[in-house]
Structure 1
Amino acid sequence: MKITDARVIVTCPGRNFVTLKIETDEGLTGVGDATLNGRELAVAAYLRDHVVPLLIGRDAHRIEDTWQYLYQGAYWRRGPVTMSAIAAVDTALWDIKGKAAGLPVYQLLGGRSREGVTVYGHANGETVDEVLDEVARYLDLGYRAVRLQCGVPGLPSTYGVGADKMFYEPARGTVPEENVWSTEKYLSFVPKLFARAREEFGPELRLLHDVHHRLTPIEAARLGRSLEPYGLYWLEDPVPADLQEGFRLIREHTTTPIAVGEVINSIWDCADLIRNQLIDFIRCTVVHAGGITHLRRIFDLAALHHVRSGSHGATDLSPVCMAAALHLDVSIPNFGLQEYMRHTEATDEVFPHGYHYADGYLFPGEEPGLGVDIDEEAAARYPYRQAYLPVNRLEDGTVHPW
C-alpha cells in the first residue's frame, strides 16, 4: 500500500491546530496531530517543505522504517518541531494500519489492559472558594481526579486561571502577554488551598497541582514537603526539566509524587529521570514525543522503573492527539492518569471522533484505526489566527520560567 498524497491542514476553531492527512492508493486515509502551541506554522512548514515530499510512494505499512527514516535521515535530530512533524506522520500511519486491519489501534498494541482511561479535569479560580466550587462541579460530572490552580493573592494573574473555566486557553494575542510572578507569595499560599480542599472533599479524591516550571529545586522541595499532609496524587513540573539532576534534590526532601514531561520530546531527554526514579509520572504526549511508536518506547522504559504515564492533554492538543493517546492509555500496563481538557463545540465539529467520556473515564473509539478524522470543509471556515503563550517576569522585571 503506497502513500499517494499528504496534506497539511491548519485551522483555528477557537485555537490553532495543525493536522497531517495521508492518502494511499488503496483509498485508506490517516490523520496525525502536528500542533506545537505558539509555533504552529514552524511545524506546518517543516512538514510541507521537508517531510511530505519524502512520503509520496513510500509503503504506508512500514511505520517503524518511516520513523527511523525521518529521524535519522534528517541528521539534525530531536527538538519539538522535528518530533511533532514525525509524530504526525507516525500517528497517521497507525491510523491507516488500523483501518487496513479492520481494528482499533489499541488492538494492534496488544489489546486492553483496562476498561476505561481515568482522566482529570482542571478546577481553577481567582479565589479558593471559586476553585472549590469548580472541584464540586467536576465531581458532579463524575471525575475522580482534579487539578487545582488558584489565583495568588498579590499577583494580578496566575497560570492556569482563566475566565472560561472549562475551556481555558492561555495562548492569545499577536504578541505575548506578560505576567508577574512572586515565588514567595506563591509558596506561602498554595498549602492553604489544599488544606481547604482536603477539609471540603476528604482524603480519597485525587488532587493534583501544576507548578509550571517556576521553582528552583530547593524551592520545589519546600513546596513538596509543605503539601505532604494533603496527599497530592502528583506535583507537576516543579522545576524546568533542562537540569535533570535538580530532581534528585527534590526527591531527597519530599515524598510528594512528581510528574514531568509535557515539554520533553524524546526518550533520550527523560531516560535519566526514569532510570534514576527521580519522577513518578511521565507526561509526554503523542504529538510532541514522536508519535505512538516513540511514546510507547518511553512508556515501556518507564514501566521497568515503577514510573506511570500521565500524558498531557490540554486544549492545544487536537482530538486527533487525544484519540491516539487513548489507544496507548488503554493498552499499556503502567497507566496512571490522562489529562482531559474538553474541546469547544467548534473543535469537535472540525474533528469528529468516536472516543467518549463517562463517569470519570474516557473510552477510545471502537472504529478501525484511531476513530477520529478532520472535516476539511469545516476546518476551512476557521483560518489560522496568530496566538502566543505568555511571558513571565518577576516583580523586578526579570524574565522567569512561565
Structure 2
Amino acid sequence: MPKIVNARVIITSPGRNFVTLKIECDDGTTGVGDATLNGRELAVASYLADHVVPCLIGRDAHRIEDVWQYLYKGAYWRRGPVTMTAIAAVDTALWDIKGKLAGLPVYQLLGGASREAVTVYCHANGTSIDDTIAAALEYQQQGFRAIRLQCGVPGMASTYGVSKDRYFYEPADGDLPSESVWNTSRYLRIVPELFKAAREALGWDVHLLHDIHHRLTPIEAGRLGKDLEPYRPFWLEDATPAENQEAFKLIRQHTSAPLAVGEIFNSIWDAKDLIQNQLIDYIRATVVHAGGITHLRRIAAFADLYQVRTGCHGATDLSPVCMAAALHFDLSVPNFGIQEYMRHTPETDAVFPHAYSIEGGMMHPGDEPGLGVDIDEELAKGYEYKPAFLPVNRLEDGTMYSW
C-alpha cells in the first residue's frame, strides 16, 4: 500500500500564475496535479493547504475513488470552482502516482488509446479581419486542421480573444480588474464577415470555431448561428450564460450550428440537463475545474449516451500538468471531439518539463509512466506570485455585462 506522507502546494508565476499540488508517498513516488483557478489562485491554494492536505496524510494513494468521494461528500459544502479545483488537483496527482507505480502512462490505465493522437485547435486572432486571416493561414500551413477565429470589432477599444501577441494570450492583466466596453450590434455584424473571409482564404478542409464568451442573449445567439450556417462552423462556444439552461432550447430552434459549452462547469450536475436534452454538441469541462480525471470521465461517459462529444478547455491558465492530464483523458475516451491548445511560454515549459508533443495539429501525451509531466521546484522558486485579475465588461452606457 503506497501511503501518502506529504503534500505541498507550490505557487509560481513563470509568465502567469500557477498553483500545483505535489503529493509524495512513503516509497518516494510523487505525483502532480494542477490547482490553478485564473484570478482566484490563492483561494484554491488556501483550500488545499488548510483543509485538504491534512486529510491526505496516511491515506492509501491507490484508493483514488475513495479519496475523491471523501473530499466531495465529506466536505459537506459541495461543488463550486474552488472546491472542485482542489479535488481535481488531488485526483490528478493520484492518477500520476498510480501510473508511475504501475509503470504505465495514465491513458493505459483508463482503458488504453481510442485513437492514435488527439486533434487540437489553435487560436487565430487579430485586430482586424485581415490580421486574423493572416494568422489562420500561418496555422494552416503548420498543419492545424481546426482554428478558432476571433477579431477586433470596429469602434471597440478591445475585444475578447484578441491579444497583443499573436501566439500568447493572457487575459488576466492587472492587479485590479481592467474594464472593457461591449457593443453587441457591432459584434454581430463583424463575425459573419470574418467567417466569410476565412472560408474564401482557407477553403473547406479546415474546421472553424468561434468563442462568444457568454455575451449574447439566446435569440441573438440564434441569429448569429443562422448567419454563420453557410460557412459551416465547427462550433459556437458559450453562446449565452449557461446558468439558465432552458435558454439553449431557444438557440436550437433558430440554428443548426453546433453548440459547445462548459469550460466554467464544475460537475456533472452543471451539464446534466444540457446533455440529456441534447441542447449542446460538445461539453467543454476540463480536468482542473471539473473534479479531476475521475469526475471528467463520468461526464464524458454520460455525454456519450447522447452523442455529445468532449471539447476540453485548454487555455494557458491551465498548466502543462493539466494539459498532460487532458491528453491522457482525450486519448482514452470514445466520444472525444477536439482539444483546445494554446502554447505556453518558454518559461512555463521550463518549470513544467513534459513528455507530451505536438505535430501537424495533433498531440500525444507520450508513454512515460504516469502523466509524463513534473514541476522543477527550484526553478519555480524564481517566479514569485503576482496578483492578476481577469477583466470585467460593461455596455457603452456603463451597465455591467458578462465578460
**TM over 0.5, yes or no?**
yes
Partner in structure 2 of residue 296 of structure 1: 297
**Alignment partner, residue 206 of structure 1:** 207
Indicate the residue corresponding to 1:170 in structure 2.
Answer: 171
Tell me, yes or no, if structure 1 residue 215 matches structure 2 residue 212. no
Query: Counterpart in 1 of 2:126?
Result: 125
Residues 1:312 and 2:308 aligned together? no
Deviations 1:48-105 (A, max 9, x none): 0000000000000000000000000000000000000000000000000000100000
User: Does the residue aligned with 2:274 lie in a helix, a strand or coil?
Assistant: helix
Aligned 8 A contact 1:33 1:91 in 2:
yes
The 5 Å alignment of 1:345-384 reads 345-384=346-385
Partner of 2:285: 284
**2:6 counterpart SS class:** strand
Supply the AA of the counterpart residue of 1:140: Q
Query: Are 1:110 and 2:89 matched, yes or no?
Result: no
Counterpart CA distance in 2 for 1:115 and 1:383 is: 39
Residue aligning to 1:81: 82
1:309-358 CA-partner distances (Å, limit 9, x unpaired): 00000000000000000000000001111000000000000000000001
Q: How many residues align?
A: 402
Shift of 1:204: 2.0
Amino acid in structure 2 at the alignment position of 1:134: A
Residue matched to 1:397? 398
Normalized against structure 2, the TM-score is what? 0.99
Write out aligned runs for 1:186-197 (5 A).
186-197=187-198
Cα distance in 1 between the residues matched to 2:138 and 2:204: 18
- Alpha-carbon distance between aligned partners in 1 of 2:359 and 2:343, rounded to the nearest angstrom: 13
Q: How much does 1:306 deviate? A: 0.6
Partner in structure 2 of residue 270 of structure 1:
271
- Shift of the alpha carbon at 1:26? 1.2
What runs of 5+ residues in structure 2 fail to find an aligned partner?
A: none
Which residue in the other structure is 2:226 paired with? 225
Contact 2:145 2:205 in 1 (8 A): no
- Residues 230-285 of structure 1 show CA distances to partners (whole Å, capped at 9, x for unaligned) of 00000000001111010011011100000000000100111000000000000000
Question: 1: CA distance between counterparts of 2:142 and 2:378?
Answer: 32
Corresponding residue for residue 329 of structure 2: 328
Structure 1 counterpart of 2:62, which letter?
H
Amino acid across the alignment from 1:185 = R
Secondary structure, counterpart of 2:124 in structure 1: strand
Partners of 1:13 and 1:350 within 8 A in 2? yes
Residue equivalent to 1:38: 39
Amino acid at match of 1:397: G
Q: Residue 149 of structure 2 corresponds to which residue in structure 1?
A: 148
Could you give the per-residue CA deviations for residues 87-131 of structure 1, whole angstroms, max 9, x where no partner exists?
000000000000010000000000000000000100000001100
SS where residue 100 of structure 2 aligns? helix
Alpha-carbon contact 2:285-2:296 (below 8 Å) kept:
yes
Identity, % of aligned positions: 71
AA aligned to 1:52 is V
Give 1:97's aligned residue.
98
Deviation at residue 375 of structure 1 after TM alignment: 0.2
Q: Distance in 2 between matches of 1:22 and 1:82?
A: 18
Structure-1 residue corresponding to 2:161: 160
Note the aligned Cα RMSD (angstroms): 0.5
Structure 1 equivalent of residue 22 of structure 2: 21
1:381 is paired with a residue whose SS is coil
Is the contact between residue 235 and residue 256 of structure 1 (CA under 8 Å) also seen in structure 2? yes
Which stretch shows the higher mean deviation, 199-208 or 43-52? 199-208
Partner residue in 2 for 1:3:
4
CA distance in 2, matches of 1:68, 1:153: 50
Q: Secondary structure of the equivalent of 1:138?
A: helix
Distance 1:380 1:167 in 2: 23
CA distance in 2, matches of 1:379, 1:390: 26
Preserved CA contact (<8 Å) 1:172 1:386: no
How far apart, CA to CA, are the structure 2 residues paired with 1:43 and 1:172? 20
Aligned AA for 1:338?
A: Q
Residue 71 (structure 2) aligns with: 70
In the TM superposition, residue 140 of structure 1 has moved relative to its aligned partner by 1.8
Checking the alignment, whether the CA contact within 8 Å between 1:103 and 1:369 is kept in structure 2 is: yes
Q: Which one-letter code corresponds to 1:385 in the other structure? A: K
CA contact (8 A) 1:37 1:316 kept: yes
Give the distance between the partners of 1:337 and 1:167, measured in 2 at CA: 20
Partner SS, residue 165 of structure 1: coil
Is structure 2 residue 256 aligned with structure 1 residue 255? Answer: yes
Counterpart code for 2:212: V
Structure 2 SS opposite 1:58: coil
Q: 2: distance between equivalents of 1:102 and 1:207?
A: 39
- 1:53 corresponds to which residue? 54
d(CA) in 1 for partners of 2:23, 2:109? 20
Residues 116, 330 of structure 1: 8 Å contact kept: yes
Deviations 1:372-399 (A, max 9, x none): 0000001000010010000000000000
